[in-house]
């Protein structure tokens, strides 16, 4: 039995909430909106600073703008080695004895290579194209492409395609929504994503928690996932999806399983996942039927048999050191799509030690995988989808130029829905109704409003991508795909440039 | 009508396509002769059908299966009833590894031994409860991460003193129940399981399934039930709830 510690925590608050009582008219909206128990009312609004997570719910809904949140004004004796974060975490572990749990993507200041890549543009010698005047093609097809095309003549002597094509998914924009499970996020998030994916001609991904029966009508634009816990996986689910994804790994937690805490397993989650209410939903670290590339191939073809070879099968892995060789194995195992999730990718819950220290950046992984598949002459056999902190349309353009067929957005989509990246998804208390199953919170997100916000984001990115293509003097995203000559690196060392396959800025053709 | 297929030298894709097409056309009974390692038989079939197999079927038999009954008059291989939703499988022999992985419902009756990693992450929801009854012994990781369902291991043919299952028994178990007819050592158990005695209700449940098993494989129910069973259950529905600092 552990020794009972003092009820007073030694951990100082992270944030300081200031209420301007001259402005405050005591409407208590902040108290009603706060889902973390910070805003309390004792004659006047009295914040418990230690409970604030900086989710901005109170400040957003205060009609008088009377609330401000700052870092807690606590000075630590300066120390570049024993940072505040490390000292706070040490105190927390001394008090709990637990693995530090966190949410969202890696926040540490590792180099972001997207911000060291610059895009080319046309000047004089080849004219740029005005996307407002001329058509710009963003259409993308995900799936296996044939090694060669064969043609034949029909009875009327017309030429027709003889080669039988593998199943493909048509995307109107090369940006798809990330796998976020029903359980990690709310039903209204899933519905918002499903509606938006249908309207924008792209895909959402169920994540590993199955698909709620209400969302089957949208399934033509839903990629259904099969993960190690096999939650919600059955024949109708596989047949309903536009594509099926085998989840091996996730950028935020490569090599480990997932524990959806019992707090988030209510009646509906229990039904979709087939586990009792209140139990932890445990996803084992590996699939216990996959211990090799041959085993992976066995599951890929089990799914292809189950769907009569009508759906592309994707395999999602985290970007790890040996990612290029692994991706090659995945393509050879029969995957139609390889999804690679970089080490800055998000999650609903993961040990901080894994999120912050394991894996490699998506930029390097993507370049290495694309090059490896080209070198081996199998790049056409699978589409390459890249994930792991695609923040803006510029990242998409750069990823496409590095060799991606499409990009995945998770955090960006959630921010569009109201997320403030407070990293408390694992608590199930999300004030914006996103990463929670508490009904009084989930109803804060209206799927009609949410889906419209997602559509707006994608529409904006679509126009931005078209602007970039126009300035590059090409009229289709296909012309940029894998065209690393249109990128230049800035402030990168020689080895990094070599892996990325781009020249340094200042070097011409 | 019974559809008989001679599968000698037939590739699995052709065989399974033939079965799928016939089922769509209303066929309900199949006899497959000369089966020799063809994979995925019964994969994702959602129908009431009976498939009788002569010969040894390949891996992932009845994966995602939803309804049919499969009876195999030989041994089975790996991955049987992988993520199966409903239906019944009877195997007159022994089977390989990863049996009933993520199984969501239906029944699996095996005459002999089962391999490693059997019944990992089986689940249940209300009346949909998967069941695996095996007559012989099991390898390591039996019932690992088990979240629901019933597993019965009879240990027939094992000596009095030898454990009837391998190590890491029920590791990470957080739901469901395991009944063992025979002994296991304390060190073999996962930290998340407790050994209990059977109550009246348990005994009735075990007798029902053992009776069914005996009907398939011709053993005497009373003789099997004469030896005591032990019951394994999860200590907690949240075995890793205290692992983290929030």
Looking at CATH, the fold of the domain delimited by A15-74 is given as Alpha-Beta Plaits (3.30.70)
Give the residue from B83, B105, B129 where a domain finishes: B83
Measure the CA angle with vertex A390, ends A388 and A391; round to 5°: 130
Q: How far apart are CA A255 and CA A58, in angstroms?
A: 38
Average the pLDDT over A221-247 and give the result. 96
Do B8 and B110 lie in one domain? The reply is: no
Using an 8 Å CB-CB cutoff, list chain A residues near B147: 274-276, 279, 282
Q: Which helix (H) or strand (E) holds A466?
A: helix A447-472
Give the residue from B83, B103, B135 where a domain finishes: B83
Do B117 and B203 lie in one domain? The reply is: yes
Using an 8 Å CB-CB cutoff, list chain B residues near A262: 237-238, 241
What lies within 8 Å, CB to CB, of A22 at 6+ separation is: none
Establish if B60 belongs to a structural domain: yes
Tally of structural domains, chain B: 2
pLDDT at A74 over 90: no
Q: Which helix (H) or strand (E) holds A487?
A: strand A487-489
Residues A205-221 pLDDT 10s: 999 999 999 999 999 99
* Predicted local distance difference test score (pLDDT) of residue A3: 65
Arithmetic mean of pLDDT over chain A: 95
Name the residue among A295, A245, A249 with its Cα closest to residue A142.
A245
Residues A361-394 pLDDT 10s: 999 999 999 999 999 999 999 999 999 999 999 9
Q: Give the model's confidence band at B236: pLDDT under 50 very low, under 70 low, under 90 confident, else very high.
A: confident
Which residues, numbered 192 to 221 in chain B, qualify as contacts with chain A under a Cβ-Cβ cut-off of 8 Å?
none
* Predicted local distance difference test score (pLDDT) of residue A1: 41
| Higher pLDDT pick, A355 / A277 | A355
- Give, in order, the Cα–Cα distances in Å from A350 to each of A230, A232, A427, A432: 19, 22, 12, 20
Q: Select the residue from A90, A227, A298, A425 to test the B interface by mutation, using most B Cβ atoms within 10 A.
A: A298
* pLDDT-wise least confident of A19-23, A146-150, A265-269: A265-269
Do B98 and B79 lie in one domain? The reply is: no
Do B191 and B213 lie in one domain? The reply is: yes
Q: Which helix (H) or strand (E) holds A281?
A: strand A281-283
Instruction: Please state the domain extents for chain A.
Output: 15-74, 140-504
Do B117 and B190 lie in one domain? The reply is: yes
Residues A321-353 pLDDT 10s: 999 999 999 999 999 999 999 999 999 999 999
Do B22 and B131 lie in one domain? The reply is: no
Do B21 and B135 lie in one domain? The reply is: no
Do B199 and B113 lie in one domain? The reply is: yes
What six digits make up the tokens of B91? Answer: 């195997």
* 8 A C-beta contact, residue A241 and residue A223: yes
Print the domain residue range for B31. 1-83
Residues A117-150 pLDDT 10s: 999 999 998 899 999 999 999 999 999 999 999 9
What six digits make up the tokens of B191? Answer: 């930290």
Report the SS3 class of residue B90. strand
Whether A100 sits inside 8 A of B244 (CB atoms) is yes
Average the pLDDT over A411-428 and give the result. 96
Residues B59-77 pLDDT 10s: 999 999 999 999 999 999 9
In this structure, the dihedral spanned by the alpha carbons of residues A312, A317, A321 and A324, taken in order and rounded to 10 degrees, is: 0
Measure the CA angle with vertex A485, ends A479 and A491; round to 5°: 135
- Mark A325-337 as b/e (b = at least 16 C-beta within 10 Å): ebbbbbbebbbbb
Q: Give the model's confidence band at A109: pLDDT under 50 very low, under 70 low, under 90 confident, else very high.
A: very high
In the block, residue with structure tokens 């007798």: B207
- Give, in order, the Cα–Cα distances in Å from B221 to each of A215, A267, B131, B213, B214: 47, 39, 18, 9, 6
Q: What are phi and psi of B38, to 5 degrees?
A: -65, 130
Do B32 and B65 lie in one domain? The reply is: yes
Whether B246 sits inside 8 A of A426 (CB atoms) is yes
- Mark A461-474 as b/e (b = at least 16 C-beta within 10 Å): bbebbbbbbbbbbb
B136: domain CATH number is: 2.160.20.60
B246 lies within 8 A of chain A by CB = yes
Using an 8 Å CB-CB cutoff, list chain A residues near B104: 230, 234, 274
Question: CA-nearest residue of chain B to A239?
Answer: B44
Residues B97-149 pLDDT 10s: 999 999 999 999 999 999 999 999 999 998 999 999 999 999 999 999 999 99
Whether B240 sits inside 8 A of A280 (CB atoms) is yes
Query: Is CATH 3.40.640.10 the right assignment for the domain spanning A140-504?
Result: no
Q: How far is B33 from chain A (nearest CA, A)?
A: 21
Residues A29-71 pLDDT 10s: 999 999 999 999 999 999 999 999 999 999 999 999 999 999 9
Give the residue from B36, B52, B83 where a domain finishes: B83
How big is chain B, counted in residues? Answer: 246
């Amino acid at each position: 039995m552990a020794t009972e510690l003092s009820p007073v925590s030694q951990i100082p608050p992270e944030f300081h909430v200031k209420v301007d009582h001259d402005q405050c008219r005591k409407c208590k909206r902040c108290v009603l909106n706060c889902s973390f128990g910070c805003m309390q009312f004792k004659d006047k609004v009295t914040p418990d600073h230690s409970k604030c997570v900086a989710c901005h719910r109170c400040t957003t809904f205060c009609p008088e703008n009377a609330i401000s949140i700052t870092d807690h004004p606590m000075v630590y004796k300066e120390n570049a080695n024993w940072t505040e974060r490390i000292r706070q975490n040490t105190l927390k572990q001394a008090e709990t004895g637990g693995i530090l749990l966190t949410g969202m993507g890696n926040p540490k200041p590792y180099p972001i290579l997207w911000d060291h890549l610059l895009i080319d543009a046309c000047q004089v010698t080849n004219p740029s194209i005005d996307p407002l005047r001329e058509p710009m093609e963003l259409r993308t097809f995900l799936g296996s492409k044939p090694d060669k095309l064969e043609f034949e003549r029909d009875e009327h002597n017309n030429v027709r395609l003889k080669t039988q094509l593998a199943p493909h998914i048509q995307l109107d924009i090369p940006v798809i929504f990330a796998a976020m499970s029903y359980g990690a996020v709310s039903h209204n998030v899933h519905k918002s994503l499903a509606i938006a994916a249908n309207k924008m001609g792209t895909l959402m991904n169920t994540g590993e928690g199955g698909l709620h029966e209400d969302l089957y009508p949208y399934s033509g634009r839903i990629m259904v996932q099969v993960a190690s816990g096999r939650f919600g996986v059955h024949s109708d689910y596989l047949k309903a999806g536009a594509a099926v994804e085998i989840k091996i790994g996730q950028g935020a937690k490569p090599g480990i399983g997932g524990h959806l805490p019992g707090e988030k397993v209510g009646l509906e989650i229990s039904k979709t996942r087939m586990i009792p209410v209140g139990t932890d939903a445990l996803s084992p670290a590996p699939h216990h039927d996959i211990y090799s590339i041959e085993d992976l191939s066995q599951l890929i073809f089990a799914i292809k048999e189950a769907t009569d070879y009508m759906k592309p099968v994707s395999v999602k892995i985290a970007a790890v050191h040996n990612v290029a060789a692994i991706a090659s194995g995945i393509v050879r195992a029969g995957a139609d799509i390889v999804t690679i999730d970089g080490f800055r990718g998000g999650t609903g819950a993961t040990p901080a030690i894994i999120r912050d220290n394991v894996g490699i950046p998506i930029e390097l992984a993507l370049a290495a995988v694309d090059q490896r598949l080209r070198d081996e002459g199998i790049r056409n056999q699978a589409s390459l989808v890249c994930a792991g902190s695609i923040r803006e349309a510029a990242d998409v353009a750069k990823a496409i130029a590095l060799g991606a067929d499409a990009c995945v957005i998770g955090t960006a989509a959630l921010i569009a829905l109201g997320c403030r990246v407070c990293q408390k998804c694992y608590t199930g208390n999300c004030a914006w109704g996103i990463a929670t199953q508490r009904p009084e919170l989930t109803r804060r997100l209206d799927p009609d409003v949410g889906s419209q916000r997602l559509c707006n984001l994608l529409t904006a990115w679509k126009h931005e991508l078209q602007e970039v293509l126009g300035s590059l003097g090409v009229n289709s995203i296909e012309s940029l795909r894998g065209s690393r000559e249109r990128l230049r690196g800035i402030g990168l060392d020689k080895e990094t440039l070599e892996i990325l396959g781009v020249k340094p800025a200042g070097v011409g053709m | 009508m019974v559809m008989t297929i001679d599968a000698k030298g037939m590739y699995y894709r052709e065989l399974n396509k033939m079965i799928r097409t016939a089922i769509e056309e209303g066929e309900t009974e199949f006899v497959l002769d000369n089966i020799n390692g063809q994979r995925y038989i019964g994969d994702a079939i959602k129908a009431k059908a009976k498939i009788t197999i002569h010969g040894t079927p390949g891996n992932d038999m009845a994966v995602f299966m939803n309804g049919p009954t499969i009876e195999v008059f030989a041994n089975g291989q790996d991955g049987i009833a992988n993520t199966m939703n409903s239906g019944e499988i009877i195997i007159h022999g022994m089977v390989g590894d990863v049996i009933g992985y993520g199984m969501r419902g239906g029944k699996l009756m095996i005459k002999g031994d089962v391999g490693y990693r059997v019944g990992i992450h089986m689940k249940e929801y209300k009346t949909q409860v998967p069941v695996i009854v095996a007559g012989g012994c099991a390898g390591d990781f039996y019932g690992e991460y088990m979240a629901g369902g019933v597993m019965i291991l009879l240990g027939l043919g094992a000596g009095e003193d030898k454990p009837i299952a391998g190590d890491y028994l029920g590791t990470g178990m957080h739901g469901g129940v395991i009944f063992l007819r025979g002994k296991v050592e304390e060190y073999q158990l996962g930290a998340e399981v407790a050994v209990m005695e059977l109550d009246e209700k348990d005994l009735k449940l075990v007798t029902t399934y053992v009776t069914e098993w005996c009907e398939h494989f011709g053993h005497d129910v009373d003789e099997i039930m004469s030896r005591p069973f032990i019951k394994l259950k999860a200590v907690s529905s949240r075995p890793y709830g205290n692992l983290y600092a929030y």
